[in-house]
Amino acid sequence: MAPTAERATFVVVANRLPVDRYAGADGREEWRTSPGGLVAALEPVLVANSGTWVGWSGAPDEKCEPFDADGMHLVPVTLSTDDVSDYYEGFSNATLWPLYHDVTAPPAFERRWWEAYHEVNRRFAAAAGEEAAEDAVVWVQDYQLQLVPALLRAERPDLRIGFFNHIPFPGYELYSRLPWRTQVVEGLLGADLIGFQRRDDASNFLRAARMLTGATTRGSVIETAPENGRSGRRLRAAPFPISIDTAGLEQLSRQPEVVARAAELRSELGNPGTILLGVDRLDYTKGILHRLRAYGELLDDGELGPPGTVLVQVASPSRERVEEYQNLRDEVELIVGRINGDHSSVGNPAIHYLHQSFPKEEMAALYLLADVMLVTPLRDGMNLVAKEYVACHHDLRGALVLSEFTGAADELRQAYLVNPYDIDGTKEAILAAVGASPSEQSRRMRPMRRRVIESDVHHWANAFLGALDMVTSN
């Protein structure tokens, strides 16, 4: 596997390719850059570095040749129907996802899923190794690919390997339930730099590495255990909180079409005094049920209600073949139906529930028109929706209700912070946010905006890649 000149000096490896398929004007299939945090974060870095992105197309059994889209070179990895159900829906999203989100749903531990996870990680590592030039930087993304760093290093010790975990890393008491806990930590220790969202995630990982592998740590520096008479390798594990393309989103929210669309939506909603907004993937970690419970009680209490106040809840479809997600959809739709049944009148629903995904222009219009944004996850690595809301509010209007259990809460300290399990506390925060005066709104919004403007996604990528460079040039 000798590297050649045409190979890339910068390679991103992620479960998904950063594009979605759609039918073009002449009926031919075309690819469009997909919306979503990870893609928004990495596309500009990749385009600037003429890099290659290795990932899955999102459909089972699809064998496509590498192709170029929006200035990125994309290399598809094929997943069979069994891989999708065992590696993606199984180990990634029914074992790791709930375990890493503090067991907000019970994780399932299936040995067959682990085998598939290992095998698919091996395939991603092989594809990345094929693409990477000598001494290239390879940046591996997220919990679906935790074994890739060590698998890749075994084949290509010349590479500089970074790993970023977009989701939380749990405390040892929870993490140690994983039957393959040592293999996963060893997989990650193949990297030169492991990035986490929060300081707590990094220290949870450092502890797991000490407990399970005999590695020693000093601050963020890890020294792996000596092996076969050779001393251990040095690497780092540290927080690098991810962000958004703040300037790009602010610019979008200033476009006349977006401003006009926000006004149109407000009038379609019946020009209510207060519009509350929730925007989430339909995922049990997002605390949608807790939020609806709090909102429903405020309506029962007569504190809020249509037509003066409405809630718009966008719940974009996600992982729909995984049972927990199907159950959640049923529960959410039951409670939305109940609240609407009790509190709506003809033409004035209490909740506008949209189980759909929208283009970013429509999302910007929704953020603009929302007087109060509700972000109430039970656990979330970062939560970019909270940052997107702040980025759109250059008018310094609006109020953000934000769960303490998100990475974003470490940074957006002026939000109305809530413990989403505390329904009374959440109700009080919602009422305070609804009642905030314009001067109170701007007093809170201004420092939050400063934060997302200074710490945007370019800052994040540069900080991570700069730190990777430091580790590997020592």
Residue with tokens 């250059």: 394
CB of 404 to ligand G6P, least distance (A): 19
Of all residues in the shown chain, the one whose CB is closest to ligand G6P is 166
Fill in the per-residue mask, 89 to 128: x = in contact with ligand G6P (CB under 6 A), - = not in contact: ----------------------------------------
328 interacts with ligand G6P by CB under 6 A: no
CB of 222 to ligand G6P, least distance (A): 23
42 interacts with ligand G6P by CB under 6 A: no
Count of residues binding ligand G6P (CB under 6 A)? Answer: 8
DSSP assignment string, 52-108: EEEEE-SSTT-----EEETTEEEEE----HHHIIIIIIIIIIIIIHHHHTTTSSPPP
φ, ψ dihedrals at 280, nearest 5° = -150, 155
Specify the DSSP class assigned to residue 225.
Answer: P
- What residues does 234 pair with on adjacent strands? 223
Alpha-carbon gap, residue 23 to 35, rounded angstroms: 17
CB of 35 to ligand G6P, least distance (A): 11
AA identity, residue 378: L
Q: How many CB atoms lie within 10 A of CB 85?
A: 18
Among 16, 286, 291, 451, indicate the residue that binds ligand G6P (CB under 6 A): 16
Of 92 and 224, CB closest to ligand G6P: 92
AA identity, residue 162: G
Please list the helix, strand and coil fractions of the chain in percent, rounded to the nearest 5, in that order: 45, 20, 30
316 interacts with ligand G6P by CB under 6 A: no
Of 89 and 411, CB closest to ligand G6P: 89
166 interacts with ligand G6P by CB under 6 A: yes
142 interacts with ligand G6P by CB under 6 A: yes
AA identity, residue 391: A
CB of 37 to ligand G6P, least distance (A): 6
Fill in the per-residue mask, 432 to 471: x = in contact with ligand G6P (CB under 6 A), - = not in contact: ----------------------------------------
Among 79, 167, 191, 311, indicate the residue that binds ligand G6P (CB under 6 A): 167
Alpha-carbon gap, residue 394 to 386, rounded angstroms: 14
Of 166 and 343, CB closest to ligand G6P: 166
38 interacts with ligand G6P by CB under 6 A: yes
DSSP assignment string, 282-300: S-GGG-HHHHHHHHHHHHH
Residues 6+ apart with CB under 8 A from 226: 232
Residue with tokens 């002026």: 414
Alpha-helical regions (H) of 393-422: 408-411
Alpha-carbon gap, residue 87 to 283, rounded angstroms: 19
CB of 72 to ligand G6P, least distance (A): 16
Alpha-carbon gap, residue 133 to 167, rounded angstroms: 29
Of 37 and 98, CB closest to ligand G6P: 37
Which residues are catalytic, by number? 166, 380
Of 360 and 397, CB closest to ligand G6P: 360
Among 251, 274, 318, 357, indicate the residue that binds ligand G6P (CB under 6 A): 318
Three-state secondary structure call for residue 165? coil
Of 15 and 203, CB closest to ligand G6P: 15
| Tokens representing residue 179 in the block | 């039957």
Residue 62 C-beta-side C-alpha neighbours within 13 Å: 15
CB of 111 to ligand G6P, least distance (A): 22
CB of 382 to ligand G6P, least distance (A): 9
Among 123, 156, 290, 319, indicate the residue that binds ligand G6P (CB under 6 A): 319
Q: Rule CB under 6 A: which residues touch ligand G6P?
A: 16, 37-38, 142, 166-167, 318-319
